[in-house]
Each structure stands twice: as structure tokens, then as C-alpha cells.
Amino acid sequence: MRAHQIRFIVLLLVVPLGAYSLFVVYPYVWAIGISLTEWRGLATPPSWIGLANFAAILGDPGFWNALRNNGVYLLFVPVVTVTLALVLAALICQRCTRLTEFYRVVFLFPQVMSIVVVAILWGYAFHPRIGLLNSALEVFGINGPSWLGDPNLAQASLVAVIVWNSVGFHTALFIAAMRAVPETYYEAARLDGAGNWRMFRDITLPLLRDPVRTSLMFMAFEAFDLFAITRIMTGGGPNHATDVLATYVYDQAFSLSRFGYASALAVVMFALMLGFSAVMLLVMRENKVEFA
């Protein structure tokens, strides 16, 4: 490499890496430092307390409650979303006509809308008095429940909204993957007398292994976040029934000014996500099927 090239590289990198280091890397590193302090805001400087925040987290019912809710999302959201998306993709892709193009476009509507708009829209659709759902139920003489006000229904309602919002995106992904499968595979199978279902199970599904994994991982990471939808639709209520780690971290930091404790919670959240991805990668590797 020549001198003028080195000068070029340095000049090209200095601003982008500077901005990235200052606004992205530095806060992440600093957060780990803050997590080891007690810090109540600008008036008082942070004081070092070692791992005391982490010990406090273990005994904090609010943390365990939020974690349990994240766990419920993790259990249901990826599997339901991906299954439904697979079914829809398979139904659309069978014969690619104008009508199926229409479905593919329509299914992605929720994805291009802002999550805030989606949350507000469904907040009102679930409204016990003026909501879409309950006024529909009223037609059949059923008095609909308070979907978001009932601790037993609130989280299930949110799962429904998240699935509604995400299915189209994963359907689009799966359709793209299905269209990449060579038509000759299906022709050969058809000659061997395979039906639609057999072809889907034995050809399409195995070839979709990678996109399905990607989608499951993607939705799993979504299940760790869910800040906007929770904040707007339930505020974490009723009575903390829909609190998640993201809203809990936010509240500890910006409502209660417990900056040290909030950062420690965020470090735990990060560790859980890392651990989860490591486990997922391991599980997926063990299940790897080799095709001849």
C-alpha cells in the first residue's frame, strides 16, 4: 500500500469512525461502567458500588415479572408468526398470478406503517366501548371484554398485534426464497406422483430452512424489545401485566432517575440476548441436516 492510499483511507475514515465511536461505541462501554455505580442524576455524581446493582436485580420482583413477560413473548411470537407466514407464503406461491401478487402487497401494509400508528390503531380497535372488536361482538349480542384492561387478556392481545404487524414481512421473505427453488425439482416430483402437500413438505420446507431460521431469530430479538408497542398500548399495565425489560429499563432510568440500576438492568438484558443467541446457534447447528 502506498502513502497516498494510506492518507486517503485515514481521511475517509476519520469522520465516520469518529461519529460512530462517540455516539455508539462509547455509550455502550460507558453503560457498563454506570451499571457498577449508584447514580441518581445530575445533582449527585455517581458513586462506585461494585456489583450491588446486580445483586439487587436478583431480588427485584419487577425484574422477574418483566423477564417472565419477555419469556412469554419469546415462546409464542416467533413460532406463531413464522408458522402463519409459512402457510400464507405456501398458499400464495403455488401459482403466481395477479391475485396472489395483490395478497403479497397487502400483507406487507402493517410493516410499512409506523409501529406507533399500529399501536394507536389497535389500542382503539381493542377499546371496550368504541373498539372494532367489541362492536363486532355486540352484533352477535356478546359483551366483549376489556382486552387491554384485563391482566389475563392484555398480553395475549399484544401478541396478536405483534403477529398481525410482522407476518407480512416474513411472508415476503419466504416467497422470495420459494421463488428461488428451481421449478425442475417440482416437475420431477410431480412425475413421481407427488401431491401438493408432499412437494411442500419434502421439497419446499427443507429448502426454506435458512430463511425460517433467520425469521425465528429476527422475531426472537423483537420479543426482547417491544418498547413502543407496550408503551403506547398498555404502558406496561394493567398492574404491570405487560411490563417488559425494555419498558422496565426505561422507567427505572427516565421516570425514577435510577441511572445506575437501569444500566445494570440493561447489561443483564444484553447478557440474556447474547446467551440466547449462543444457545440458538448451538441448537441450530446440532440439527443441521445434510442433503446429498
Contact status: 43 vs other proteins (CB under 8 A): no
x/- string (CB under 8 A) for other proteins, residues 162-191?
A: --x--xxx--xx--x---------------
Query: By C-beta, is 81 or 292 nearer to other proteins?
Result: 81
Give the residue among 104, 20, 47, 32 at the shortest CA–CA distance from 269: 32
In whole angstroms, give the CA distance from residue 262 to residue 269: 10
One of 75, 132, 281, 282 touching other proteins (CB under 8 A)? 132
Query: By C-beta, is 20 or 64 nearer to other proteins?
Result: 20
106: Cβ–Cβ under 8 A, 6 or more apart, which residues?
A: 168
Residue 54 corresponds to which cell in the numbers above? 446486580
In whole angstroms, give the CA distance from residue 186 to residue 195: 10
One of 47, 68, 138, 201 touching other proteins (CB under 8 A)? 138
Contact status: 135 vs other proteins (CB under 8 A): yes
Give the residue among 73, 34, 52 at the shortest CA–CA distance from 243: 73
Specify the stretch interacting with other proteins by CB under 8 A; choose among 50-58, 140-148, 199-207, 263-271: 263-271
Q: How far is the CB of 11 from other proteins (least distance, A)?
A: 8
In whole angstroms, give the CA distance from residue 50 to residue 199: 59
Query: By C-beta, is 173 or 286 nearer to other proteins?
Result: 173
Contact 80, 163 (CB under 8 A): yes
Contact 234, 155 (CB under 8 A): no
Which residues within the stretch 243-262 sit at the binding site for other proteins (CB under 8 A)? 245-246, 249-250, 253-254, 259, 262
Contact status: 48 vs other proteins (CB under 8 A): no
One of 51, 79, 136, 156 touching other proteins (CB under 8 A)? 136
Which residues within the stretch 88-117 sit at the binding site for other proteins (CB under 8 A)? 88, 91-92, 94, 99-100, 103, 105-117
Contact status: 154 vs other proteins (CB under 8 A): no
In whole angstroms, give the CA distance from residue 165 to residue 113: 9
In whole angstroms, give the CA distance from residue 288 to residue 282: 10
